[in-house]
Amino acid sequence: MMIDKRLIGKVEESKKYIAGNVLVQWISLLANIVMMFVITRLLAGLYYETASKSDMLQTLLISLVVVVIRFVCAIAASKMSYLSSKAVKKKLREMIYEKLLKLGASYHTKVNTSEIVQLAVEGVDQLETYFGAYLPQFFYAMIAPLTLFVVLSFVNMTAAVMLLICVPLIPVAIAAVQTWAKKLLSKYWGQYTALGDTFLENLQGLTTLKIYQSDAYKNEQMNEESEKFRKITMKVLTMQLNSITIMDLIAYGGAALGVIIAVQKFAAGEVTLAGSLLIILLAADFFIPMRMLGSFFHIAMNGMAASGKIFKLLDLQENPQGEREFPEHGDIQMREVRFSYEEEREILKGIDMTFAERSFTAIVGESGCGKSTIASLLMTKNSGYQGSIRVGETELSEISEESLMKHVTYISHNSYLFKGSVRENLLLAKPDADDARLWEVLEQTNLAEFLRGENGLETEVLEKGANLSGGQCQRLALARAILHDTPIYIFDEATSNIDVESENDIIQRIYELAERKTIILISHRLANVVKSDRIYVLKDGVVTEEGTHAQLLEKDGHYAGLWNAQQSLENFGTKEQSAKTNSDEKIETEQAVDKHSTEKNFDEEHRKEAAHEEKN
Ligand SMILES: Nc1ncnc2c1ncn2[C@@H]1O[C@H](COP(=O)(O)OP(=O)(O)O)[C@@H](O)[C@H]1O
Ligand SMILES: [Mg+2]
């Protein structure tokens, strides 16, 4: 009930430290009993005036030795609890980390990132008290009263029995509040992670919130969450304080009882003076370990609630992992692929696509039609599709994630850049690449010149590339991708943050890459896909048209419509700028530029809106 077998089972290593901790505490107790014994004997001797000088000296010596022993024991005990909690923390964090690796790229569909961070940091820290203090105290609190009972039973049986009977009242009181406490703490943790989620999200989106002046509203929302958290925290504290008061009453009441019994027995002549003094001095020691256990208990409970959450994470079902290798050759074929994130809202409605080896295939379509969803299925970031996706003869789901990652590189419009140098960011993709190779890919992505002006390969990159422009981030991500050198590349709006000139340039590089690689390019800008070997036009999760650019124009359907709209818009934009007229459209363009600089990707929506207007 008060010991989580599963948790302890997970951390075998800490068992020996816990046992060691209990042992040194017990030795310390024995030493204390010896000291009390000689002191009470001396006191009685002094009272009856039978004590000699050598008795006093002997008592002093023994007491000194005992003090030294207890000092050493205290140090050893804290060392043991440090070692045991260290072992636990290390082990649990490793387990969480391994679990995340096993959950793979799709982990975020099952747990929140902020929740994992909170569990792995705070949650695991909470277990420190459980392993370092609570568990050893749990065993010591059993052994100590029994030891004292055995010792005092030689002095007076009635007193020893009375004291022993009172000790279990403390755990009974603890158990009484436990059920209540458990619910409360589980709620507390729920509220804590909820607050963390909101906080992280609002912090990440702060710029956006400012732009839309919604920060006040979100602030209000967070205040409400914090208020809830404050209330539940106060409840937890009240509960802890109340139960500590109860425990104190029992502990000191029990000790007082010991004193009363000792005095009575002495008065009745059943116990010697030394004996009754010993009972008085040791009575409190019956209760102190249990009382300590009680105060660790609440902190430990908190850790237990956290451990419940940790185990929930560790118990998450892992996607069945394929064992097979990614085939070195073969086309990728999607047949009748259906997929939905939520029930009753199908996103992909029977997709048939073929991505031929070493060819350039494009997927185009309006925002929200399911292009990225297709990419994420290919990267197995979302599982549970119907139909089949095959690479050569092998079903994608049978291929191990590791092998997949070695064969396919996915580049989105917000590929993650890590805090560190340009070199570090690049070497992620190919740890053994030499500088010449790094400069080569930087050259290819037109970053070399800029970086030479900075600090070369040592140029610092902040978290998420915050100190680079959107275009520079994109180029660096692209350079890293090229360095990865996999047979298959998926570009999902990878150039959407870049100005048109460099976009054309990078697209050109991607076409060059296609001479050796299989390329899947997702783009809203049709100018990018003109030279594709095959273009799929997607609408509401269905492929409506396919073919080359020329074939699709000839069909004069959806694609042709989009193409004409985008062409006239792009030409219109350049004319407009040179003419410097003051039309409404000019203002539109300025707004688009303004948004572009503040909010990445917004121009995409804008171009589409404008294209739509143009069509009507
Ligand atoms: N994680 C998700 N959970 C639920 N719905 C999603 C999720 N991701 C995308 N969708 C929905 O799936 C549809 C297709 O999204 P997506 O594939 O990202 O479109 P595209 O890349 O073509 O713009 C959209 O309607 C979107 O709302
Ligand atoms: Mg998309």
- Tokens found for residue 33: 């009993």
Query: What average pLDDT does the segment 596-609 reach?
Result: 44
371 CB near ligand 1 (under 6 Å): yes
348 CB near ligand 1 (under 6 Å): no
Closest ligand relative to 538 C-alpha: 1
Strand partners, 332: 355, 391
- What is the residue whose two structure tokens read 């939905």? 340
Cα atoms in the 13 Å half-sphere on the side-chain side of 150: 8
Neighbours of 237 (CB within 10 A): 11
- Which atom of ligand 1 lies nearest, measured to the CA of 376? 17
pLDDT in tens, 38-63: 999 999 999 998 888 999 999 999 99
Query: How confident is residue 538, by pLDDT bands cut at 50, 70 and 90?
Result: very high
Query: What average pLDDT does the segment 538-556 reach?
Result: 94
Using the predicted structure, report yes or no on whether residue 592 has a pLDDT greater than 80: no
- Which atom of ligand 1 lies nearest, measured to the CA of 492? 21
CA distance 73 to 31: 10
pLDDT in tens, 134-168: 889 999 999 999 999 999 999 999 889 989 998 88
Closest ligand relative to 368 C-alpha: 1
Q: What is the pLDDT at residue 530?
A: 93
Q: What is the pLDDT at residue 574?
A: 57
Using the predicted structure, report yes or no on whether residue 169 has a pLDDT greater than 90: no
Strand partners, 355: 332
Using the predicted structure, report yes or no on whether residue 225 has a pLDDT greater than 80: yes
| Nearest residue to 544 (alpha-carbon basis) of 366, 356, 412, 361 | 366
Report the DSSP pairing between strands 332-339 and 386-391: antiparallel
CA distance 46 to 58: 14
Q: How far is CA 549 from CA 243, 554, 559, 572, in A?
A: 76, 9, 9, 22
Domains contained in the chain, CATH given: 5-315 (1.20.1560.10), 332-548 (3.40.50.300), 556-616 (no CATH)
Q: What is the pLDDT at residue 154?
A: 92
CA-nearest residue, atom 10 of ligand 1:
341
347 CB near ligand 1 (under 6 Å): yes
The share of the chain scoring above pLDDT 70, in percent, equals 91
Query: How confident is residue 212, by pLDDT bands cut at 50, 70 and 90?
Result: confident
Using the predicted structure, report yes or no on whether residue 609 has a pLDDT greater than 60: no
Q: Lowest mean pLDDT: which of 432-436, 440-444, 589-593?
A: 589-593
pLDDT in tens, 462-509: 877 788 888 888 889 889 999 998 999 999 998 877 777 778 888 888
pLDDT in tens, 239-258: 878 888 888 888 889 889 98
Is residue 209 within 8 A of residue 215, CB to CB? The reply is yes
Distance 552 CA to ligand 2 centre (A): 22
- Which atom of ligand 1 lies nearest, measured to the CA of 109? 1
pLDDT in tens, 66-100: 999 999 999 999 999 899 888 888 988 898 888 88
Backbone φ and ψ of 389, nearest 5°: -125, 115
- What is the residue whose two structure tokens read 């679990």? 99
Q: What is the pLDDT at residue 372?
A: 92
Using the predicted structure, report yes or no on whether residue 604 has a pLDDT greater than 70: no
Is residue 115 within 8 A of residue 195, CB to CB? The reply is no
| Nearest residue to 254 (alpha-carbon basis) of 173, 158, 163, 168 | 163
Q: What is the pLDDT at residue 319?
A: 66
373 CB near ligand 1 (under 6 Å): yes
CA distance 569 to 584: 14
pLDDT in tens, 257-276: 989 999 999 999 989 999 99
Q: What is the pLDDT at residue 313?
A: 84
CA distance 536 to 377: 16
Q: What is the pLDDT at residue 320?
A: 66
Q: What is the pLDDT at residue 415?
A: 80
- Between 363 and 109, the higher pLDDT residue: 363
- Tokens found for residue 154: 């030689």
CA-nearest residue, atom 7 of ligand 1:
341
- Residue to probe by mutation, ligand 1, list 339, 372, 491, most atoms within 8 Å of CB: 372
Distance 367 CA to ligand 2 centre (A): 7
Written as one letter, the residue type at 274 is A
- Residue to probe by mutation, ligand 1, list 108, 367, 373, 562, most atoms within 8 Å of CB: 373
- Which atom of ligand 1 lies nearest, measured to the CA of 373? 17
- Tokens found for residue 280: 């008085």
Using the predicted structure, report yes or no on whether residue 584 has a pLDDT greater than 70: no
Query: What average pLDDT does the segment 228-236 reach?
Result: 90
Query: What average pLDDT does the segment 426-451 reach?
Result: 91
Q: What is the pLDDT at residue 2?
A: 57
486 CB near ligand 1 (under 6 Å): no
Distance 373 CA to ligand 1 centre (A): 6
Q: What is the pLDDT at residue 602?
A: 42
Residue 459: CB partners within 8 Å, gap ≥ 6? Answer: 421, 422, 451
Q: What is the pLDDT at residue 62?
A: 95
CA distance 80 to 131: 10
- Mean of per-residue pLDDT scores for the chain: 85
Is residue 412 within 8 A of residue 492, CB to CB? The reply is yes
370 CB near ligand 1 (under 6 Å): yes
CA distance 29 to 34: 9
pLDDT in tens, 116-139: 888 888 888 888 888 888 889 999
Query: How confident is residue 550, by pLDDT bands cut at 50, 70 and 90?
Result: very high
- Between 5 and 548, the higher pLDDT residue: 548
The secondary structure element, H or E, covering residue 316 is none
Q: What is the pLDDT at residue 608?
A: 46
108 CB near ligand 1 (under 6 Å): no
Query: How confident is residue 573, by pLDDT bands cut at 50, 70 and 90?
Result: low
Query: How confident is residue 102, by pLDDT bands cut at 50, 70 and 90?
Result: confident
Distance 510 CA to ligand 2 centre (A): 19
